[in-house]
């Protein structure tokens, strides 16, 4: 004859099942929260690594009323920059120089802007030229910015302007602000 009734004997077993179920739910919740945190940090790392460099494709100058002086493009899977050549070079653009993505942690070395307000940064490996794209929302509210693009060229930082690319030589070595247009190399051949 049992010491307890059937219902009374099953109560500890049911309590243990309930405790095990609750313990499983708590552990599962903790693991899923941990997994969410890990997923978020992995996603942030992937986003940082996958900067959309297409925002840099185009030509740039130091003021709107001058012809293009720098060209950024993707060639054979790599991002490159080219500078305008004088007419005496018999070509419009110089040889492509490869560019690399710069980590946002390096932004303070070149620009006085919070890295959180920058979409991406590319530069020559020697850092003589560094280009940054400022988030449009920030560029619209900062009265000191009149362009979404910043350049750091040999120890000096300023805004630059994206303009239409052209195939006209300019003598930027003589006086880059004189707006001197020589002839089009392609027309003189």
d(CA 97, CA 104): 21
**Do residues 84 and 95 touch, judged by C-beta distance below 8 A?**
no
State the pLDDT at residue 87. 82
State the pLDDT at residue 40. 43
Nearest to 124 by CA among 81, 84, 73: 81
Q: How many CB atoms lie within 10 A of CB 43?
A: 10
User: pLDDT 10s per residue in the chain (189 long)?
Assistant: 445 555 554 555 455 554 554 544 444 444 444 444 444 444 333 433 567 899 999 999 988 788 889 999 999 999 999 999 888 888 999 999 999 999 999 999 999 999 999 999 999 999 999 999 999 999 999 888 889 999 998 778 888 999 999 888 876 555 555 555 545 555 544
State the pLDDT at residue 34. 41
Distances (CA, A) of 32 to 25, 27, 46, 149: 10, 9, 20, 41
State the pLDDT at residue 78. 93
**pTM of the predicted structure, to 2 decimals:** 0.63
């Amino acid at each position: 004859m049992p010491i307890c009734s059937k219902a009374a004997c099953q109560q500890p077993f049911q309590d243990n099942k309930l405790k095990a179920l609750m313990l499983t739910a708590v552990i599962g919740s903790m693991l899923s929260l941990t997994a969410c945190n890990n997923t978020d940090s992995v996603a942030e790392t992937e986003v940082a690594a996958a900067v959309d460099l297409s925002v840099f494709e185009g030509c740039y100058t130091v003021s709107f009323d001058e012809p293009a002086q720098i060209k950024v493009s993707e060639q054979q899977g790599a991002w490159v920059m080219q500078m305008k050549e004088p007419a005496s070079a018999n070509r419009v653009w110089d040889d492509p120089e490869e560019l690399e993505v710069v980590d946002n942690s390096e932004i303070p070395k070149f620009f006085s802007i919070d890295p959180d307000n920058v979409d991406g940064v590319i530069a020559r490996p020697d850092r003589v030229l560094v280009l940054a794209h400022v988030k449009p929302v920030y560029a619209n509210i900062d009265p000191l910015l009149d362009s979404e693009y910043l350049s750091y060229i040999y120890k000096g930082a300023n805004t630059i302007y994206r303009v239409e690319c052209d195939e006209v030589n300019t003598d930027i070595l003589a006086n880059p602000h004189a707006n001197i247009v020589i002839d089009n190399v392609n027309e003189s051949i």
